[in-house]
Amino acid sequence: MMSYLGALAWLFAVVSFGAVIPIVPTGAAVSGAAALAFHEHHPVTIVLVVLFGAAGAYCGDLVMYGMCRVGGEQLARRLRWLRDEEHLASVKTRLEKSQVPVLLVSRLIPGGRVPVLLAAAFVGLSWRTFVVANLPACALWSAVYAAIGVAGGSIFPRPWQGVVAAVLVILIVNQTISWITKRRDSRRGSTSPSQA
């Protein structure tokens, strides 16, 4: 039982850290942990993976949101969180229209969470709204990535194969979405001067 708690504590720490410093593949960590839990044949362990993953994401998001509220755009630029001013402006507009759905969806789209957190902080979204709206977003995010891990664990007979499969699927999906987004943005950038 102690080894499970230690592993869950590590999962919480990795996801929390990755939520603040968005270079850690937090979704892959949750998926890998769920794949391992599936092979232990303890459904409760999978539920704990979802809970600890969600709690880590939630705590990390609170820290990042607090840093953005206090430090503003200057801190976001210094930490290289703020890269695309045009995208940030469109996210601000969407947040002003519907705050909760935008926060909910942003956690599920790879690369979508940071711009939404920045926009929410810069728009001045209240702490109360953020705290309430981000809770289901983190829970849903953790459940989706855990489900991917369970799927990988159920396909392959050995735990390490399920973990590798889950991590690869997450990384491929993230890279594909990132590539599509960059390509779309470069097309948009190349058509803008001709329209002006």
| Residue 169 structural domain | 2-81+134-183
- Spatial CA neighbour of 88 closest among 125, 119, 122, 110: 119
CA distance 151 to 168: 13
Give a yes or no: residue 126 inside a domain.
no
Give a yes or no: residue 91 inside a domain.
no
pTM: 0.76
Local confidence pLDDT in tens for the 196 residues of the chain: 447 677 889 999 999 999 888 777 888 889 888 888 887 777 788 899 999 999 999 999 999 888 888 876 676 666 555 555 665 666 667 776 777 777 777 787 777 787 788 778 877 788 888 888 889 889 999 998 898 888 877 776 776 676 677 667 766 766 676 676 667 666 765 655 444 4
Give a yes or no: residue 99 inside a domain.
no
Give a yes or no: residue 48 inside a domain.
yes
Give a yes or no: residue 127 inside a domain.
no
Give a yes or no: residue 27 inside a domain.
yes
Q: How many domains does the chain have?
A: 1
Burial of 34 (0-12, 13-18, 19+ CB in 10 A): buried
Give a yes or no: residue 108 inside a domain.
no
Give a yes or no: residue 148 inside a domain.
yes
